[in-house]
Structure 1
Amino acid sequence: MEEEVEFDFMTGASCPEKLDKKVRKGLLNSHRRTQLRHPLFTPPFQEDPASAPSSASLGHLLHTAAQPNTIMRSYILILFVQSALANVINYHLHTDNDNEINECVERSMEMLMDETCLFFRQTSEQDASVTFIQSEHCSWQESNRTVHLNPTCISDDFCYEMIGRMLSIDKPKQQIARFLNLHYNCTEKCTIDCRHGGIVLPDCTCKCSYGFTGKQCEKLAKQASFTDSSCGVIDANDDGVLNLSTYPEPREKTTFCQWLLESSDPWAVIEVSIERLGLDGEDVRPGARCNDFFTVFGEQDQVGPLPCDGSLNITELRSKANWLLLELRSDPYSENSVTGPLLRYSVKRQRQGVRVYSEGMTSSTAALSTIAALVLSSLRLL
């Protein structure tokens, strides 16, 4: 016996995005029979939007209702179902695709359905608003609503970002769900942006990573303790040099400094070249590798505190996102004169690997793949 789902039609307390996938799927199946459409919303990429329910059909519903209360509930139910269907994305997986490609696409869709109020429904090629097809490259071809994928250029992150790009969200993976929730008005989903590696908690607040504070982890938590004027946020939109204000003279005996290198470009990564560490590595305590501590946060490959002896042989650092936090803690009991680090940084844009073809900009390989797909589909109909 199927579980009965109750909705508070008078208050609208149950929103479509609160429904689990099973209930939403039931609404979709009902939609196929009734063909209800939201009068003010056309699903994305629907080339032939259906008209709104006619006043005659709605009037018939109201006329046949026995009580005014039933009339209101019936009308709210219609709007509720229509709202649930508004965020449905119809898609088609080409029959010649490798399993690897289809699984990559479907894993990303599952993640997006968990993180947003979107629902992806697999349909026939005729009903689909977008088609995923195996090709010689990876690209999004907007003119014919086709995503081209190849096993050599896909990954879980890539498929996720490709679907985001298909839905007009040109952002890195960690930002896509938030922007989709804002774009599709997913009011029951959390849309807070936890920056600098912060984690979204179940109550829609941010748990900040080390060194950050604020509602969105946007501030440096230890700024009041900085001992040098060079410390703080550095706008890393261009290449630059980083060092203490006293460089090349010896640093202050007690030094605590954080440099937050950050670019305004969400696709940027920051590369840092270590020209000189300038740390106190003399008379090191037993078990320690340095008297001073120079630590990097937000790097692509976690390295932890850098030792003074150069045993890690690290001269280059690369950020995981568009920011990098560098921290210098000196040994207040050191009697040695050291300068602190000398660093050079540069900003690079991540190679997305996604080619976007707009109207009139179709590549020959993309065109051939699409034509081949159409020919194969036609042959199957014969």
Structure 2
Amino acid sequence: MADDKLRLTKNLENMAREQGFAAFGIAPAVLAPVTAQRLQDWLAGGQHGDMIWMEGRADERASPQNLWPDVRSVIMLGMSYAPAHDPFSLEKVPDHGRISVYAQGKDYHDVVKRALKHTARWLVENSDCEVKVFVDTAPVMEKPLAEAAGLGWQGKHTNLVSRDHGSWLFLGAIYTTLDLEPSMGGKDRCGSCSACQDICPTNAFIEPYRLDAQACISYLTIENKGPIPTKYRKAMGNHIYGCDDCLAVCPWNKFADQAAANKAFLPRAELAAPALADLLAMDDAGFRTIFSGSPIKRSGRNRIVRNSLIAAGNSADATLVPAVTALLDDENVVVRGAAVWALLQLDRNQFDHEKEVRLSKEPDPDVLLEWRSTETSVAAAH
């Protein structure tokens, strides 16, 4: 019986690799109690921001069997998206936006889930079991489970680190009623390294292994629906969707084999280095065209234009002033507010002129605060 299970597991791993997965392991369907406690502490501290869904199903997230009582094993799979280019290459190209590596190709939700379903279907056809598959959208603690399955360890930046793939793995899970032999768990190998903590532009790490999502550029540019808090705007630089800094600086990336990366995640030219001028000019139809098939499409046009306006304000590029000024008339109040801030950074004279024309006509209180920010600054100085 044991030999049969081992043979099934090996054949399953081979099938998973045929589907494009670069990492494979099996975790028991019970997470250590410390995992649930860390989640509760994080939620209690409010560090999840507006991600309310983290609260609503916290009990199910804390242990696989809380989500599905029949699960006996969790098959954890990793798909590499190791970049062929330097994620920092646009850091000093301020008139272009920086998009997180994972979002420059096809939507990983679609690619990983398709491969998971094929792998799970093979398992059902070759054994007497039930399965459920999950990619990122269910109350599943993928990273602790991946560590328990031996795919790597949860690093100081809170993401999974692999000895073979660095910080560049998409994770997927297959819950099964089969009682499979667990893999040897991962071992923390971060040591004394603090590179990911030191590089964070917004100092979002409260301490190693603990992130305040509300200060993280990925959260601010993707999850946050309102205005970008003023204190983080300069630190965002030209990040317009996500931030790879803490991942990209990880020393373990030097072992990541780019040849193992799934080709579906190769960057599209228009997403690898988008010009801010083009992004600022997008209407809804243009947004849907540019970001079709990308995970960015979920954010919607307004959020990406908001982020691009912050990047424009940080660019010191006066040629963007006309595009920024045009967005002062945008229907979306968050976009208008970001345009006010960007114009102030780029051209104070133009800002003063537009303020005189528009201040009395602006109906939204948040946009009015943006226009009056200079008045507050002057008053504070005196």
| TM-score, normalization by structure 1 | 0.24
The structure with higher relative contact order (CA 8 Å, sep 6+) is 2
| TM-score, normalization by structure 2 | 0.24
Decide which structure has the larger Cα Rg and report it.
1
Larger helix percent:
2
Larger strand percent:
1
